[in-house]
Amino acid sequence: MVLPLGDLQRTRILPIITYILIALNVTMFLVQQQQGEEFTRAFAMTPWEVTHNEDLAQPVPRVIPVLVRDPFGGVHRELREVALEHYPCPIPVRLTLLTSMFLHGSWIHLLGNMLYLWIVGDNVEEVLGSFRYLVVYLACGLMGSLAQIAVDPQSNVPTLGASGAIAGIMGAYVVWFPHNQIRVLVFRFITVLPASIAIGGWIALQIWMGAGSFHRGTDAGGVAYLAHVGGALTGIFVAFLFADEARYVKARNAAAEGWTTYDDPE
Q: Which residues are catalytic?
A: 163, 228
Find residue 80's DSSP bridge partners. Answer: 64
DSSP-derived letter for residue 259 is -
Q: Burial of 175 by CB count in 10 Å (0-12 exposed, 13-18 middle, 19+ buried)?
A: buried
Among candidate residues 234, 264, 232, the one with its CA nearest the CA of residue 249 = 264
Which residues are CB-neighbours of 260 under 8 A, at least 6 positions away? 254
φ, ψ (nearest 5 deg) of residue 70: -90, 170
Which residues are CB-neighbours of 192 under 8 A, at least 6 positions away? 8, 181, 182, 183, 184
d(CA 231, CA 97): 13
d(CA 4, CA 195): 10
d(CA 119, CA 42): 31
Contact 161, 100 (CB under 8 A): yes
d(CA 202, CA 232): 10
User: What does each C-alpha distance from 236 to 80, 201, 214, 243, 258 come to in angstroms?
Assistant: 41, 14, 22, 10, 29
